[in-house]
Amino acid sequence: MKTAATRDSGTHGLGRAAGVISAFTFLSRILGLVRDMVVARFFGAGMAADAFFVAFRIPNFLRSLFAEGSLTIAFIPVFTEYLTQKGKPAAFELARTVLTLLSIILVVLSVAGILLAPWIVRLQAFGFGGETEKYALTVLLTRITFPYILLISVVALFMGVLNSLRRFAAPAAAPIFLNVGIIAGAYWISPRLSEPIVGVAIGVLLGGCMQVGLQILPALRAGMSLKPRWRFAHTGVKRIGLLMLPAIFGSAVYQFNQIMGTLIASFLPEGSISWLYYADRLVQFPLGVFAIAISTASLPTLSGYAANRDFERFGRTLEYGIRLVFFITLPSMAGLILLREPLVELFFERGAFDSVSSAMTALALFYYCLGLWAFSGVRILVSAFYALQDTRTPVKIAIVALVTNLSMSLVLMGPLKHGGLALALTLASTLQFACLLLLLKRRVALLALRPVGRSILKSACAAVLMGAAILLYERWTLPMSLWGAGFWPLLTRIAAAIGLAAGVYFGAAVLLRCPELDAVRGLLRRR
């Protein structure tokens, strides 16, 4: 008979892992905002920025397709099963084989991408035209950034190994170095080039090299060898390949969403792509710090329970993850909606990024924020399916979401312009979350939704009280004469608003007896 301590060990382990990941992710997001502030300052939302964002999205698409998407999804459950049932030597042999095969495929893919860049850009941003300066610049930037797919895929494999071994620090810190590389490129390489945006693209490659270096040392310390292993008929490799096929398709569906959004936005007024990008960056801050951190930490934990057929602890850990995600996401969503305009002004409005760009970015941020709860919930539910080695169901639901997103984008882009594209993604993600939750409940009978619903309701009530406090505060501080104009007065006003919001939210959570409060305190202590 399981004791309470035994039953809760999975949730405590998940909390510790999420604390480590969220700490490094928090630092990464801060540097990511600094990176975007730098790019916004030097390049604004004009031609060069649009060209870079399109060019960098292409290797990012392949990264999600082959690396952090399908490879991680398929690799961690199988690698964890080998660790659990066959031990480290067998698991590391599997990892070496996958690394050897992956390296060969990615070298070929990188060369092909460089050669085919003109046609890739035509597909990605048809609205740029085929002979324009903007098109030519995008092709050049694509060729420079394309080898990043090779670097980040190697990083993703090492991250899968280390996460499965419950070593989360180095994988979580990896994105920090991409931001460092881009910032260094913008400040020290761009001024020396005739086309400054090229320096930012070179910074992407520098960041990728640093990310690889960061992962290798802890992997070697854990016992993994870098010696190639040519046993491509390995049973585990075949299983990973079978899991990857639907996972690749699922990642492709998600990325196709992004590509179609970019394609549609390329027909809207210049700057639309950049406005959506900058808004998405602000949404990604709470999404990455907490929701992605929890889903990343939960995958190896849930995979271990699934391998041992321990569905009681699987369900308990999943419930805990869902409740914790919503407890943190709902106040983040309310805060971003109410403070969207001053936040955009604070982070981006300087240099080439003017007040018009701020207003347009804030509009997109509003519509994205309406779906932040769904974006976060989808992350944790998809991790649960992958832990069960079911990569087909998320793909089917992703296709439904894709069709919904495309349909709503075409309907809403007319009246709402780029804001309509953000709202379409929100509506599609809401449908995706509902479908995944319903199907997962059928798969895991022990998953109890009633306590999850009660917890979400309490979190929503606390978030409403927090929102009311922010509205009262904004009305009191609306006259800028109280604070003065400029960066530091604005930062002071926003920091005071965030402090007030946090106090009200956590105070309300105490009164409502939200059980997730103790977990958040633990995360903050570990941070």
Q: CA 408 to CA 177: how far, in whole Å?
A: 37
Q: CA 374 to CA 287: how far, in whole Å?
A: 10
Dihedral angle computed from the Cα positions of residues 9, 12, 17 and 18, in that order, rounded to the nearest 10 degrees: 140
**Inter-residue contact 361 to 490 (CB < 8 Å):** no
**Inter-residue contact 161 to 9 (CB < 8 Å):** no
Helix ranges restricted to H, 339-371: 340-348, 355-369
Three-state DSSP class for residue 527:
coil
Residue with tokens 């960041």: 207
User: What length is written for the chain?
Assistant: 527
Q: How many CB atoms lie within 10 A of CB 144?
A: 23
**Which pLDDT score, from 0 to 100, does residue 481 have?**
44
- Signed CA dihedral, 341, 346, 348, 350: sign only: positive
Q: What is the DSSP letter of 486?
A: S
Q: What are the residue ranges in the chain where pLDDT is below 50?
A: 1-8, 480-484, 527
Half-sphere exposure of 406 (CA within 13 A, CB side): 14
Residue 479, phi then psi, degrees to nearest 5:
-65, 115
Of 25, 361, 49, which is closest to residue 178 (Cα–Cα)?
25
**Inter-residue contact 170 to 214 (CB < 8 Å):** yes
**Which pLDDT score, from 0 to 100, does residue 451 have?**
84
Q: At 116, which amino acid appears?
A: L
Of 121, 50, 514, which is closest to residue 326 (Cα–Cα)?
514
Exposed/middle/buried for 309, CB within 10 Å: 0-12, 13-18, 19+?
Answer: exposed
Q: At 199, which amino acid appears?
A: G
**Inter-residue contact 329 to 24 (CB < 8 Å):** no
**Inter-residue contact 54 to 125 (CB < 8 Å):** yes
Q: How far is CA 244 from CA 172, 211, 237, 257, in A?
A: 23, 24, 10, 19
**Which pLDDT score, from 0 to 100, does residue 457 have?**
92
Exposed/middle/buried for 450, CB within 10 Å: 0-12, 13-18, 19+?
Answer: exposed
Residue with tokens 């903007």: 134
Q: CA 442 to CA 439: how far, in whole Å?
A: 5
Q: CA 33 to CA 348: how far, in whole Å?
A: 9
Dihedral angle computed from the Cα positions of residues 372, 376, 378 and 380, in that order, rounded to the nearest 10 degrees: -170
Residue with tokens 């932040």: 372
**Which pLDDT score, from 0 to 100, does residue 446 have?**
63
**Inter-residue contact 197 to 55 (CB < 8 Å):** no
Q: CA 27 to CA 255: how far, in whole Å?
A: 26
- Signed CA dihedral, 122, 282, 490, 481: sign only: positive
Please give the angle made by the CA atoms of 213, 217 and 218, to the nearest 5 degrees: 120
Helix ranges restricted to H, 339-448: 340-348, 355-369, 372-387, 392-416, 418-443
Q: CA 282 to CA 27: how far, in whole Å?
A: 14
Task: Name the token pair of 415.
Answer: 């009246």
Q: How far is CA 401 from CA 257, 382, 398, 409, 435, in A?
A: 9, 14, 5, 12, 10
**Which pLDDT score, from 0 to 100, does residue 13 have?**
60
Of 367, 44, 398, 85, which is closest to residue 256 (Cα–Cα)?
398
**Which pLDDT score, from 0 to 100, does residue 7 have?**
42
**Structural domain boundaries of the chain?**
47-259
Three-state DSSP class for residue 140:
helix
Of 10, 1, 3, 5, which is closest to residue 313 (Cα–Cα)?
10
